[in-house]
């Protein structure tokens, strides 16, 4: 029951943010939420906690919202460089570096894409995309 209640509250907060926050405030909120999600992901994945990785998640979220393909490509290149540096020079196990690399790609880029959609198409288009994902995921669960 706690999960249902927290899901309803988070959904209401997200809906209010999408509908009424100005774009810069929505970007800041989304970057903070992406860092919190990445922190939780790294904890669940038992990957080493790394402030640079959390910063990459927030940066990815922020930069992708600019809706420029060259920024997204540079971001992916930066993550690849991060993996190389952590494995070759810091001695991090490859599976830990891979788990760290997934956080910006799995969390930062999709949330940044939602911000970009909001910036280009407004709240209705953003809510349609989120609704489509919710319905699709729910349908996959029950089929």
Q: Which residues of 7-30 are buried (b: 16+ CB within 10 A; e: fewer)?
A: eeeeeeebeebbeebeeeebbebb
3-state SS class at 50? coil
CA distance 138 to 135: 5
Structure tokens at 141: 């669960």
Give the dihedral of Cα atoms 8, 42, 132, 68; nearest 10 deg. Answer: 130
**pLDDT for 14:** 95
Q: What is the pLDDT of residue 70?
A: 78
pTM for the model stands at 0.86
Distance CA 118, CA 112 (A): 10
Rounded Cα distance, 116 and 100, in Å? 24
Contact present, 105 and 75 (Cβ < 8 Å): no
Provide the pLDDT for residue 132.
Answer: 95
* Mean pLDDT per 10-residue section of the chain, whose length is 143 residues: 89 95 95 96 92 91 80 84 91 92 92 93 96 90 78
């Amino acid at each position: 029951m706690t999960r249902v209640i927290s899901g309803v509250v988070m959904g209401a907060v997200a809906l209010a943010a999408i509908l009424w926050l100005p774009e810069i405030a929505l970007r800041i909120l989304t970057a903070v939420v992406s860092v919190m999600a990445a922190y939780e992901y790294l904890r669940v994945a038992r990957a080493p906690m790394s402030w640079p990785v959390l910063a990459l998640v927030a940066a990815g979220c922020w930069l992708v919202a600019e809706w420029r393909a060259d920024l997204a490509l540079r971001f992916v290149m930066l993550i690849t460089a991060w993996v190389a540096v952590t494995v070759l020079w810091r001695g991090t196990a490859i599976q830990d570096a891979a788990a760290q690399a997934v956080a910006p790609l799995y969390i930062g880029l999709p949330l940044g894409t939602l911000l970009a959609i909001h910036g280009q198409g407004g709240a209705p288009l953003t809510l349609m995309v989120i609704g489509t994902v919710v319905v699709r995921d729910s349908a996959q669960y029950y089929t």
